[in-house]
Chains A and B, each alone.
Chain A
Amino acid sequence: MSDSELLAINGVVKHFDISGGVLDQLRIENGRFKLKKVVVKAVNDVSFAIKRGETFSVVGESGCGKSTLARTVIGLYPPNSGEVRYKGERIDHLPPKRMLPYRARMQMIFQDPYASLNPRMTVRSILEEPVMFHQRGVSRQSVRNKVAEVMAQVGVDPGWATRYPHEFSGGQRQRISIARALMVDPEFIIADEPISALDVSIQAQILNLLMDAQEKLGLTYMFITHDLSVVSHISSRVAVMYLGCVCELADTQKLFHSPRHPYTQALLTAIPRLGVAKPRHVKLRGEVPTPINLPPGCVFHQRCIHTNDRCKNEIPRLTRLDDGTHVACHAVLEGRI
């Protein structure tokens, strides 16, 4: 572990058992009763490290496991295997009491500004609660001052603290959501699609706000999104996920300039670009398989034009190339592409 590393995850696996009770699992196969479990393999063996002060983006299409990964990192879901380390300390599977100090340092911003604020609480109590909980013994007055300070910082009039969330617009709610995360002076913030539910002109406001906060408070972001143009703008490094696996991890510049993994290449050509008529994008064969029945070998092999026998049988490992890019692809590693 180097000093600059803030958060590292190693071999994280998260599967969900959705098979329900015993009766739901019962199947008849060849005249015999069998119990069959249905498991969604949302995150499969993901490892990376996030450096202090950087914006680390995780991109992928819906169902690729990026949100599950975010929730596993922050401790909402315990991983099935693998470990999550914060400043070198293992924090997965910590009992709630010992997890508490990390709860104040890691915060999360959610996608839906309409669901992420409790409709029955005023903005003031939404913002005050985490502080009162984590910093026992602070005076009421200093918490109030902090609320006013943070609200002003995120651009919401502190005079509106006694209002309820439904009195605010989507953009303002997202600001309040960010304010809630900032209240406990965190070091690390996971933002799960924080702007995708907002209007175009509001998206820019929220992105600017996040960048301002990072600069002023020295925050580290893990940014979950499907929007590649946002990723290219704000992040320093990017991990591309497909079906629960990281297929490429690289510096933003490198990834957008010379994508290595065939999936990344297809993804990048699919971004609609302003003013470029007649898009020339790499078409993928077929559709994304379900995470219940993962294909053997490379998860992408059924849709890839570079597939050979090895791809169909052997899972490629995320491997570092000479230029510092990590890629999980047999074809790239063998020099076929």
Chain B
Amino acid sequence: MGRLLEVDNLEIKFALRFGDLTAINGVSFTLDKGERLGLVGESGAGKSVTGFAIINLISKPGYISGGRILFQGRDLTKMSYEGVRQIRGDRISMIFQDPMMTLNPVLTVGTQMIETLLAHRNMTVRDAEAVSIEKLKKVQISSPEQRLKQYPHEFSGGMRQRIVIAIALLTGPELIIADEPTTALDVTIQAEIMDLLLGLCESENMGLILITHDLAVVSQVTEKIAVMYAGKIVESGPTERIINDPLHPYTRGLINALPEVAEPGTRLNQIPGMMPTLTSIPKGCSFHPRCDYRLDVCETEDPEFIYLENNKRRVSCHYWKNK
């Protein structure tokens, strides 16, 4: 198993009129070939920005101000725009929450798929069509030959997301970044799409970064989890360990707040307060104002990572350091 992706101390800033704002602060994680990682956090935690950074799609005024992103050993942050563009959509594909971000409403599905292929591969239109049909079959779309001639609005939401996945698969990428791929879908369709994505990753040996707020979905699909809070990873490790024995107070809070954890009819274990905005991140540990385990040191010092369980998991929390 080779190393596919290594994000090392990534820092992303937004240049605003009153100075730079740090959105992502020292995010590091690794992904092996065929491995599935869940980036979990609430809105504003920086999980989508991290995903966009990997394919260098951060829109102005945001910019990468530090750290490295090594994809198969090459640093994407030091590459030319053209170089990154060749990797993006070829070796790395992205799936968005809204399928219409990927699909062009005025072109048929077939045109879009064939164009995507021709942009990255030197092949004939006929061959490209054959590949498109094969990929549509892979995402379990019936009669793909006819479907190629249809426009995106002729499909339901779940079908559109399948087509987006088929487009993502076209070039046989090593890594798929899926940003809340099922948030807009109904539960029954969400379950189908997640099954499909999981099956495809396993059969094609693709890496997956699943960006979501839904711990339950992540726990079913991924092997590793990184929990983000206010622009930092606060805890990461094997999925099963994090779900069953969360260490960071924020992860604990997130899991305990789920309705299925509490007895029906009783009060849920809520985390008080809310996540700070980028302009008002507190000093010390950014979670300390909401934390039940707060120590004096939390208010002044930013906690470092402590590594546990054969270096397989890490947590940045003073409480666990002192324990």
Which residue of chain A has its CB nearest to the CB of B222?
A277
A169 on interface, CB distance cutoff 8 Å: yes
Interface string of A124-164 (1 = CB under 8 A from B): 00000000000000000000000000000000000000000
B188 at the interface (CB under 8 A from A): yes
Q: Judge whether A90 is part of the interface by a CB distance below 8 angstroms.
A: no
Within 8 A of A (CB), among B186-236: 186-192, 194-195, 213-217, 219-220
**When chains A and B are docked, how far (Å) is the Cα of A131 from the Cα of B147?**
56
Interface string of B165-195 (1 = CB under 8 A from A): 0000000000000000000001111111011
- Contact present for B158 and A234 (CB under 8 Å): no
In the complex, which residues 272-291 of chain A have their Cβ closer than 8 Å to any Cβ of chain B?
272-279, 281, 283-284, 287-288
Return chain B residues, CB-CB under 8 Å to A281. Answer: 188, 191, 195
Residues in chain A near residue B220, CB distance under 8 A:
272-273, 276-279
Q: Identify A207's interface contact among B187, B194, B268, CB under 8 A.
A: B268
Q: Would you call A287 and B191 a contact (CB within 8 A)?
A: no
Q: Which residue of B lies closest to A230 (CB)?
A: B259
A25 interfacial by beta-carbon distance below 8 Å: no
Within 8 A of A (CB), among B124-166: 156, 158-159
- Collect the chain A residues with CB atoms within 8 Å of residue B87's CB: none
The answer to whether the Cβ of A271 comes within 8 Å of any Cβ in the partner chain is yes
Q: Please give, as numbers and ranges, the residues of chain B lying within 8 Å of A275 by CB-CB distance.
A: 219, 240, 243-244
Residue of chain B at shortest CB distance from A169: B274
Residues of A within 8 A of B260 (CB): 229, 232-233, 273-274
Do B270 and A204 touch (CB < 8 A)? yes
The answer to whether B217 and A208 have CB atoms under 8 Å apart is: no
Residues of B within 8 A of A226 (CB): 186-187
Q: Which of B190, B194, B260, B271 has the most CB of A within 10 A?
A: B260
Known contacts: A252-B264, A279-B195. The answer to whether A273 contacts B216 by CB under 8 A is: yes
Contact with B along A11-33 (1 / 0, CB 8 A): 00000000000000000000000
**A270 and B191 contact, CB distance less than 8 A:** yes
* Interchain nearest-CB distance for A4 vs B (Å): 18
> Beta-carbon contacts of B248-281 to A below 8 Å, as 1s and 0s?
0000011101111110110111111011000000
Binary B-proximity of A162-194 (CB < 8 A = 1, otherwise 0): 000000010100000000000000000000000
Please tell me if A122 contacts chain B, counting CB pairs below 8 Å: no
Q: Which of B192, B259, B265, B271 contacts A201 (CB 8 A)?
A: B271
The residues of B that contact A272 with a CB separation of less than 8 Å are 187, 190-191, 194, 214, 216-217, 219-220
* Residues in B whose Cβ lies below 8 Å from that of A274: 215-216, 219, 243, 255, 258, 260-261
Q: Which of A79-120 contact B (CB under 8 A)?
A: none
A207 to B258, CA, bound (A): 11
The contact of A270 among B188, B243, B244, B254, by CB within 8 Å, is B188
| Closest chain B residue, CB of each to CB of A61 | B186
Contact B257 A277 (CB under 8 A): no
- Residues 235-272 of A at the B interface (beta carbon under 8 Å): 252-253, 266-267, 269-272
Q: Which A residues touch B189, using CB under 8 A? A: 61
B268 in complex: contacting residue of A61, A204, A278, CB < 8 Å: A204
A211 within 8 A of B: yes
Within the complex, what minimum Cβ distance (angstroms) separates B193 from chain A? 11
**Closest residue on chain B to residue A55 by CB atoms:** B265
By beta carbon, the residue of chain B nearest A252 is B264
State how many angstroms separate the Cβ of B243 from the closest Cβ of chain A: 4
Task: Find out whether the CB atom of B257 lies under 8 angstroms from the CB atom of A204.
Answer: yes
Residues of A within 8 A of B275 (CB): 199, 201
Closest chain-A Cβ to B212's Cβ sits at a distance in Å of 10
A278 to B262, CA, bound (A): 23
B235–chain A nearest beta-carbon distance, Å: 15
Given contacts A270-B188, A276-B219, A203 and B264 within 8 Å (CB-CB): no
| B104 at the binding interface (Cβ < 8 Å) | no
Q: Contact: B213 with A199, CB < 8 Å?
A: yes
The reply to whether B219 and A207 form a contact with Cβ atoms under 8 Å apart is no
A171-B274, A273-B260, A274-B216 known; A208-B194 Cβ under 8 A: no
Q: Are B259 and A207 in contact (CB under 8 A)?
A: yes
Residue of A nearest to B269 (CB): A204
Q: How far is the CA of A177 from the CA of B219 in the complex (A)?
A: 33
Given pairs A61-B187, A201-B271, A267-B187, 11 additional interface contacts (CB within 8 A): A201-B42, A201-B254, A204-B269, A204-B270, A211-B267, A226-B187, A233-B260, A272-B219, A274-B261, A279-B191, A279-B195
Provide 27 A-B residue pairs closer than 8 Å at the C-beta atoms, listed in order of the A residue.
A61-B186, A61-B187, A199-B42, A200-B214, A201-B253, A201-B254, A201-B270, A201-B275, A202-B274, A203-B257, A204-B271, A230-B259, A233-B262, A234-B259, A253-B264, A270-B187, A270-B191, A271-B187, A272-B187, A272-B194, A274-B261, A275-B219, A275-B240, A275-B244, A277-B240, A279-B194, A279-B220
Residues of A within 8 A of B (CB): 61-62, 169, 171, 199-205, 207-208, 211-212, 226, 228-230, 232-234, 252-253, 266-267, 269-279, 281, 283-284, 287-288
Question: CB within 8 Å of A: which residues of B?
Answer: 42-43, 156, 158-159, 186-192, 194-195, 213-217, 219-220, 240, 243-244, 253-255, 257-262, 264-265, 267-272, 274-275
**A-B residue pairs, 3 tightest by C-beta:** A233-B259, A61-B186, A204-B257
